């Protein structure tokens, strides 16, 4: 059952690339995204296909280091490396690129990336203060809309926006419902399985197909289809992974935690639960998008209070035994915020945290294993 579902996902993913090529031949535009802050709804409203391009594999890092400094976040190097080495089918398929000024490394990387492909960078404010930041963000989203209109030759009106918001809300709701499955004890899905489903579904051009696939996995997981036959129910320590995003290829920490007998039951990051939001469908669409997306609780915001509220909610709802805070090497914002996360989690829930700083390479796996094992012994 388990393997049948995953094989099906593999087939859907392979077919997806063919479908995207077909759609582009028929005149549809593909828009590459690098960050959760840019609303995909605007691309969808213009009839374009949104593609997440954030790099999660180590392979292209060497190619990136021919240009970028070695002491830079592996996510940025991987993203750039995929582009310059032409090894990512989704980057190749993208007609234009949308980036945003999230962190220093990314915004400077986008300057170089624009030599590979037309790149538009949205000026993301550094805090979520309504008076200071909202007018800038609103005007950036208007500019974004114009960019999509120019690329797709579609006039994006409120009706189109509303239906895009509704579709994307349904997709996010399906994601959230799937992730919420692991509130149960024992967790019906392994962290690595959850990661694979969420990661691969993200690329699907046919959003409705992605939604129904996630609904199917949710139903099967609830029936216990993914539970190992030999599990000791409820014995595994339940870990919340917070911090930087993880995807296939950058999931070594999740794998090590599982190898050591614990479960990663929740992901407080932008590849996980930070996507579990709903855009308000009762408000004027551009306003609703600006408000909801700016509220994304990433460490690039200062202060980033939303993250602590989300952590508290998730620690409670997912019945968490421990919190592991992951920082990609040279990601200053998450690295500094780790101190506040540790302090907050200890004070609010009495749990110790483990902060790990690493990159996409496997070279430090044994060192990570000792730290994680010692942390699990503490719980």
Partner 1 sequence: MRYAGIDIGSRTIELVVIDEAGQIVGSRQADSGFNPMVRAKEMTRELTYDSIMATGYGRNLFEISFDAPTVTEIKAHAVGARVLFPGGTTVLDIGGQDSKAISVLGNGRVKKFEMNDRCAAGTGKFMEIMARSLGFEIDTFGDEALQFKNELTISSMCTVFAESEVTSLIAQGCSPQDIAMALHKSVIGRVVQMLKRVLGDGDIVFTGGVALNRCMQQLLADKLDRKVLVPDDPQLVGALGAAFLARDAG
Of 116, 124, 128, 62, the C-alpha closest to 92 is: 116
Q: Which of 65, 215, 321, 373 is the binder for partner 1 (CB under 8 A)?
A: 373
- Sequence-distant (≥ 6) Cβ neighbours of residue 313 within 8 angstroms: none
Q: Which of 130, 248, 361, 374 is the binder for partner 1 (CB under 8 A)?
A: 374
Q: Which is nearer to partner 1, 174 or 356 (CB)?
A: 356
Minimum distance of partner 1 from residue 252's CB (angstroms): 16
User: How far is Cα 372 from Cα 316, in angstroms, rounded to an integer?
Assistant: 22
Minimum distance of partner 1 from residue 327's CB (angstroms): 14
User: How far is Cα 362 from Cα 16, in angstroms, rounded to an integer?
Assistant: 30
Q: Does 366 bind partner 1 (CB under 8 A)?
A: yes
Q: Which is nearer to partner 1, 224 or 352 (CB)?
A: 352
Query: What is the distance in angstroms between the CA of the first residue and the CA of the last residue of the chain?
Result: 33
Contacting range for partner 1; rule: CB under 8 A; set: 53-61, 152-160, 308-316, 362-370: 362-370
The CA–CA distances, whole Å, from 267 to 73, 251, 291 equal 20, 12, 23
Minimum distance of partner 1 from residue 259's CB (angstroms): 11
- Token digits of residue 130: 């309504």
Contacting range for partner 1; rule: CB under 8 A; set: 185-193, 211-219, 290-298, 360-368: 360-368
Q: Which is nearer to partner 1, 303 or 352 (CB)?
A: 352
Q: Does 160 bind partner 1 (CB under 8 A)?
A: no
The CA–CA distances, whole Å, from 249 to 206, 253, 269 equal 24, 11, 16
Residues in 214-243 at the binding interface with partner 1, rule: CB under 8 A: none
Contacting range for partner 1; rule: CB under 8 A; set: 133-141, 219-227, 311-319, 361-369: 361-369
Q: Which of 106, 145, 220, 371 is the binder for partner 1 (CB under 8 A)?
A: 371
Contacting range for partner 1; rule: CB under 8 A; set: 109-117, 133-141, 170-178, 366-374: 366-374
Q: Which is nearer to partner 1, 159 or 346 (CB)?
A: 346
Q: How many residues bind partner 1 (CB under 8 A)?
A: 10
User: How far is Cα 243 from Cα 238, in angstroms, rounded to an integer?
Assistant: 17
The CA–CA distances, whole Å, from 55 to 34, 48, 61, 80, 284 equal 9, 21, 9, 8, 33
* Residue 238 · residue 265 · CB < 8 Å: yes
Q: Which of 24, 351, 364, 365 is the binder for partner 1 (CB under 8 A)?
A: 364
* Residue 86 · residue 70 · CB < 8 Å: no
Minimum distance of partner 1 from residue 314's CB (angstroms): 22
- Among all chains, which residue has been given the structure tokens 């990433």? 298
- Token digits of residue 195: 């990661």
User: How far is Cα 87 from Cα 81, in angstroms, rounded to an integer?
Assistant: 8
Query: Taking CB under 8 A as the rule, which mask of x and - marks residues 314-353 in contact with partner 1?
Result: --------------------------------------x-
Contacting range for partner 1; rule: CB under 8 A; set: 120-128, 158-166, 201-209, 368-376: 368-376
Size of the chain, expressed as the number of residues it contains: 379
242: exposed, middle or buried (Cβ count in 10 Å: 0-12, 13-18, 19+): buried
Q: Which is nearer to partner 1, 336 or 374 (CB)?
A: 374
Contacting range for partner 1; rule: CB under 8 A; set: 70-78, 196-204, 226-234, 363-371: 363-371
- Token digits of residue 363: 């070279």
Helix (H) or strand (E) holding 17: helix 2-25
Minimum distance of partner 1 from residue 370's CB (angstroms): 6
Contacting range for partner 1; rule: CB under 8 A; set: 115-123, 192-200, 217-225, 367-375: 367-375
Give the chain's count of helices (H) and strands (E): 15, 8
Minimum distance of partner 1 from residue 266's CB (angstroms): 23
Contacts with partner 1 by CB under 8 A lie at: 352, 364, 366-367, 370-371, 373-374, 377-378
């Amino acid at each position: 059952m388990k393997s049948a579902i995953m094989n099906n996902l593999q087939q859907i993913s392979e077919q997806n690339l063919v479908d995207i090529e077909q759609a582009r031949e028929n005149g549809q535009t593909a828009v590459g995204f690098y960050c959760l802050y840019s609303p995909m709804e605007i691309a969808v409203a213009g009839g374009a296909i949104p593609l997440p391009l954030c790099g999660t594999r180590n392979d292209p890092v060497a190619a990136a280091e021919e240009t970028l400094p070695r002491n830079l976040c592996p996510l940025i190097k991987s993203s750039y490396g995929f582009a310059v080495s032409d090894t990512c089918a989704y980057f190749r398929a993208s007609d234009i690129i949308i980036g945003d000024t999230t962190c220093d490394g990314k915004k400077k990387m986008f300057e170089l990336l624009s030599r590979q492909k037309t790149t538009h960078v949205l000026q993301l404010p550094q805090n979520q203060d309504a008076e200071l930041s909202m007018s800038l963000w609103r005007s950036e989203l208007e500019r974004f809309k114009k960019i999509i209109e120019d690329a797709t030759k579609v006039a994006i009106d409120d009706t189109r926006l509303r239906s895009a918001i509704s579709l994307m809300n349904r997709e996010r709701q399906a994601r959230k419902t799937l992730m919420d499955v692991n509130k149960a004890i024992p967790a019906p899905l392994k962290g690595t399985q959850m990661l694979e489903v969420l990661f691969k579904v993200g690329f699907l051009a046919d959003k409705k197909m992605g939604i129904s696939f996630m609904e199917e996995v949710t139903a099967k997981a609830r029936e216990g289809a993914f539970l190992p036959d030999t599990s000791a129910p409820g014995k595994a320590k339940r870990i919340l992974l917070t911090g930087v995003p993880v995807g296939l290829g950058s999931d070594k920490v999740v794998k090590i935690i599982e190898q050591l007998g614990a479960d990663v039951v929740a992901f407080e990051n932008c590849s996980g639960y930070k996507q579990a939001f709903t855009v308000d469908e009762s408000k004027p669409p551009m306003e609703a998008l600006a408000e909801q997306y700016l509220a994304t609780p990433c460490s690039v915001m200062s202060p980033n209070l939303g993250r602590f509220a989300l952590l508290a909610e998730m620690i409670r709802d997912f019945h968490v035994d421990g919190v592991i805070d992951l920082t990609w090497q040279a990601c200053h914002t998450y690295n500094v915020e780790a101190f506040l996360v540790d302090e907050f989690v200890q004070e609010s829930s009495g749990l110790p945290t483990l902060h790990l700083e690493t990159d996409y390479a496997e070279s430090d796996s044994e060192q990570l294993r000792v730290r994680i094992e010692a942390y699990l012994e503490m719980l």
